[in-house]
Structures are given as C-alpha cells and as structure tokens.
Structure 1
Amino acid sequence: MTNVNLITGFLGSGKTTTIQHLLNQKPEHENWAILVNEFGEIGIDGALLANQGAVLKEIPGGCMCCVNGLPMQVGLNMLLKQAKPDRLLIEPTGLGHPKQILTMLTSEVYQPLLNLQATLCLLDARQLSEERYQENENFRDQLAAADIILVNKCDTYSVENKNTFMQWYENNGLNRPFHYIEQGNIAAELLNSPRLNIQALPDGSHHHSPRPNGLAALQLQNNKGWRRALNQGQGYTSCGWIFDAETCFSTAALLDWVRLSPVDRVKGVMHIPEGTIVFNRQGFDLKIETQPVAPVDSRVELIHSADAAWNDLQNALLKARVNIE
C-alpha cells in the first residue's frame, strides 16, 4: 500500500520548495513518487523536481482539480503501476480546489491501494491581509482541508502579519497543528501524521480552460526554437514559454525582465551563459538560484490576476536572448 500526502497551498506559498526539502530526507530504502499539477501549460515545477530521487508525473494545465478528474486518475494510475511507490506526494496547482482530489483518493477503488495521510497546506500569512485572497474559494478551502498548516516564509513577517494569522487561527484553526517555517524547510516525519480532518468541503468551481489531454508538459515540435501557451480561469491568466536547449539568455537582461514584469507571479528555469538560472517571484519576493550545468530546455511562466500585455512581455523576453544568428 502506498502512503499518500497532499501538499496544497495558494500561488507562491512554497509548495515546490517544500517538496524539494522532503525529497532530500527520503529514506534510501523507500521509493517515492510525485504527481505535480500546474495552472499553466509549461511545466516549471516538473523541471524543478526532476532527477531528485523520485519518479515524477506532470499534469500541466490545471487539469488535476477538474470536475471529471480524468487526467488525475490517469496520471495516478500510471504512477502506481509503473513506480509502485512507498510514498506518493501530490502537488496540485495553487489555484486548485482540494475536494475533487480528496474525494478521489478516498474512493472505494483506491482504498486497497492508498493510505491517505495528513494533508499539508502551505500558507504565506501575509496573504491573509489581502481581500483578493480572503475572497478566493480555493484559498479558503485549501486551508479548510488541511490537517497541518505550514506557515511559510515566517522570516519575512511583521508583527502585524503574525497577529493576523493568530486571529485567523483562533476563528478557523479548529485546533489543528501549525508550524512556522522558513523556505519550506520541514521535517519529513510530518508526512506520517494521520488524516484527521474529514470535514465536508463545498464543491470547487471548474477553474481553467479545457485541454485535450493534460498528462505531459508542453514540448517543442518540428525543430521549432520556442513556443508559447496560454491558460485562463478563476480570475487568473497564465502565459508561458519554452525554448530549445540552444537558446541562451543574457543573465542581466533576463533578471531585469523577471523583476520588472508587471504580473503577480514569475517562475522559470532558464539557460544563461553561466549554466542555469532558477527564479521564483511572487509579488516583490524574488528567489534566485544558479547552477553550473545548462538545462535540457528553458521554461518560464507568468501568472496574473488579470489579462496582461503578453505580446509586449514576449518581445522583451525575446530581446534578452544572446547568440542569435
């Protein structure tokens, strides 16, 4: 039987970084798998989590939380059959509703196969002060479905942020455990916590445009140098690009583009002269990491709570390329 944990949290809460910390603690004798879903089509999280000691299956395009759940079922069945994992970590999109997934994981067909343990929800407590998050049903219901609340990025909080969280917890915590953490750093022992929160959740809205499959991230075809993909739903729009392995970007120009793009979220794994740059921007918070080896390809995704001038942003990104003949 496979032990399963759902790792939820709204956009920018730190789910992928948390999973990376958990993978670093994986017991050598255990076989782990990850089922990851993103709102956009590009598959940034899959690139970040690849080759880290676990079998990975991507479901881009927000399909995991669909009302029909078909991509989720197919991806889950493929992982269970091919990897036969001891533990499965499921990372839904930050715009996903947890009810559909929890209902599926506890369904009769999976009871002999899965042992659903604690659902962990990442929270950036600064978001509790913003009306657009408070009014978002997925933000509220992700927290409502959690067995354990991980109050992430606590090193960035003001006293007011912590007071706001404690006020929220007094009204909504239901005595569930919570942990203040930094940069998604948690102990893997939390995964063995039981699932105790079985309160009924409302149905979530179908939150994205339909797509024909949803079992693999966008790939380049016919020797094209790059492609772009859009997705929209639940008041958010994503625009992402994938570039071939030969395309290289000026480090300074790319970072200016990342910092100055007028959108809520920027996330990417890109080829630069020094190798690879990984960046993750939520609002004004920007995390950057460099690696000496070039990536297989370059991927970047923007997400915004409204439409944006995608063509202008694309032109600026294309101008950041180097070694173009």
Structure 2
Amino acid sequence: MSVGINALLRQKPDRLIIEPTGLGHPKQVIKTLTSDQYDKYIDLRATIALVDPRNLSDERHLENKNFNDQLASAEVIIGNKVDQCTAEDIDVFNDWLTDQEPAKIFHKLVKNGELPLEVLDIERREAAQEPAKHGHHHDDHDHSDLEPVFELPPEKPYIRRENQGQGYFSCGWIIGEEHKFDFDQLFSLFSDLNAERVKAVVNTDKGCFAFNVVNRVVSVNQMSLEGYESRIEVIDSQLMPWQDLESILLKLCGLNEA
C-alpha cells in the first residue's frame, strides 16, 4: 500500500480515495496514514463503510471479525442496495446504528452505490483531538523523502510472503521492476487460475498494468507506475500449491527458479 500511495503523492493529487482489500485491517490502514511518514502530506478525512443492510441479519457476516472491524472503524456508514431491502432489513440497519458507541458521524441509505459526495469532506472524529498539522495543503513539498515501508532486498530478484486468516489463504510476490512479464501469457494464467481473488500491479512487455480477478473474470487497467516492483497477490478459501504457481510466474517474467 505504501508503495502505491507514495507514487501517487509524488503526482500531487487533490484527493486520494483508498479502498483496502476485503481482507485488509482498517485500523492498520488508518495507523499507517496517520503516521509520521505521511504527517506533512495527508489530511485524512472520515473513514467510510459501504454495507448491504441485509448482511446485518446474516450470522456469517456478524461472526466475521473483518466485517465487524471495518464497520467499527468507520465513522460514516452508507447502507447500499436499499431498493433490494425489505422494511425489516431497514429496521435492522437503523437499530444497529442506534446501538453504535460512539455514534456514527453520518449515515444514509442509498441504491446503486450513489455515495453523497459531501461525505468525502467529513472530518475524522479523532482529528479534533490531534495537534493541528501544517503544510499538507501546500503543493511545494519535495516528495522524494517518501520511501516505501517494504522494499525488495537489493540482492534478491523477488520475494514471496504467505498469510492466512478469517478462513482464507493468501500468497504474494514482489518481483523486481527490471523483470517484464509476458502480458498475454499472464492474462491467460489469471483467467485459468482457480482462485477467488487475484490482485496485481505488473510490469509487462506492453507496459504496467493493474489486474483484478474475481472468480476467473479478469479486469485490466493500464497504470503509470513504471519503475516500481511488480506485485501479485492470490487469495482463496483453500490452500493452493504456491510453489507450483511461483514456478509459472517466474517463467513468465524470464526468471529461473532459484
């Protein structure tokens, strides 16, 4: 996350909207964004959670720690898909809001994800208790001192990390930017891969691309992040043969398995 944020901040945007992975830990994301590393560059606003009110009656969601943590961390709650909800679903949503401590700053029921744009400017509750930050509205800062929290060791062409939790297994790779993937072969691999999610920002022979794969449906967007390592993450509810997948990935970028 830090690598992507740093690259975007160097372009001096007016606003960043960050949507973490569904397996992400919102408190850790907020901790990172409010750390000294970003103190001069980011004016963090209220955290927003988009929730389907029907899920508040589903024990599978109510017993899921990530689901509860994301709602607990959010200061703004948007109940989406209201056109598909029953009157009982709406009552459950309103009762849930009433029980929240501390109370949410703002909430609204919408359909089709029609987020009210004014919620993007709502200030964080914690911000009122923090010392005033200076300089984050200015355009004249040198962003060259923003360094990624995690880096590929200079002596290694790639690294791999595995994780598991909440009933899911994940494996991620960071591969040096000098190693280019064959775009067509990588697209075919992601299309055939039997995993619930694949997320990647990859340097290819056709440029840098972001891949987002859900149940073998591949979405691709060209990126302007050349000069950064390729990053690939695969998530599934079953433990996958990571070593076999790694061997294929290394071949697609011209690396021989170490």
Give TM-score, length-normalised by structure 2. 0.64
**Residue 310 (structure 1) shift:** 1.0
Secondary structure of the residue aligned to 2:170 is: strand
**Residue 320 (structure 1) shift:** 2.0
Counterpart residue number, 1:177: 108
Q: Give the direction of change, closer, same or farther, for the CA distance of 1:178–1:72 in structure 2 (3 Å limit).
A: closer
What does 1:1-325 correspond to in 2, within 5 Å? Answer: 46=5, 49=8, 51-53=10-12, 65=27, 76-79=34-37, 81-83=39-41, 85=42, 87-89=43-45, 117=46, 119-123=47-51, 132-133=60-61, 135-143=63-71, 145=74, 147-149=76-78, 151=80, 163=84, 168-174=89-95, 176-181=107-112, 186=115, 188-193=117-122, 216-291=148-223, 294-322=226-254
Q: Which has the higher contact order (CA 8 A, sep 6+)?
A: 1
Q: Write the deviation string for residues 219-253 of structure 1: whole angstroms up to 9, x where unpaired.
A: 22133211111122232222111111111111111
Q: Which has the higher strand share?
A: 1
For residues 227 and 79 of structure 2, the distance between their equivalents in structure 1, rounded to whole angstroms, comes to 31
Greater Rg over alpha carbons, structure: 2
For residues 261 and 273 of structure 1, the distance between their equivalents in structure 2, rounded to whole angstroms, comes to 21
**Residue 190 (structure 1) shift:** 1.3
Q: Give the direction of change, closer, same or farther, for the CA distance of 1:300–1:162 in structure 2 (3 Å limit).
A: farther
Q: Write the deviation string for residues 234-282 of structure 1: whole angstroms up to 9, x where unpaired.
A: 3222211111111111111111222222222211110111211111223
Task: Provide the aligned C-alpha RMSD in A.
Answer: 4.4
Percentage identity across paired residues of the two chains: 28
Q: Give the direction of change, closer, same or farther, for the CA distance of 1:248–1:218 in structure 2 (3 Å limit).
A: same
Give structure 2 stretches of 5+ with no counterpart.
98-106, 126-146
- For the Cα contact (< 8 Å) 2:193–2:216, is it kept in 1? no
Q: Write the deviation string for residues 66-118 of structure 1: whole angstroms up to 9, x where unpaired.
A: 7xxxx9657624046443x4x215xxxxxxxxxxxxxxxxxxxxxxxxxxx4x
Secondary structure of the residue aligned to 1:180 is: coil
For residues 278 and 80 of structure 1, the distance between their equivalents in structure 2, rounded to whole angstroms, comes to 24
Counterpart residue number, 1:12: none
- For the Cα contact (< 8 Å) 1:133–1:139, is it kept in 2? yes
Count of residue correspondences: 220
Give TM-score, length-normalised by structure 1. 0.52
Secondary structure of the residue aligned to 1:294 is: coil
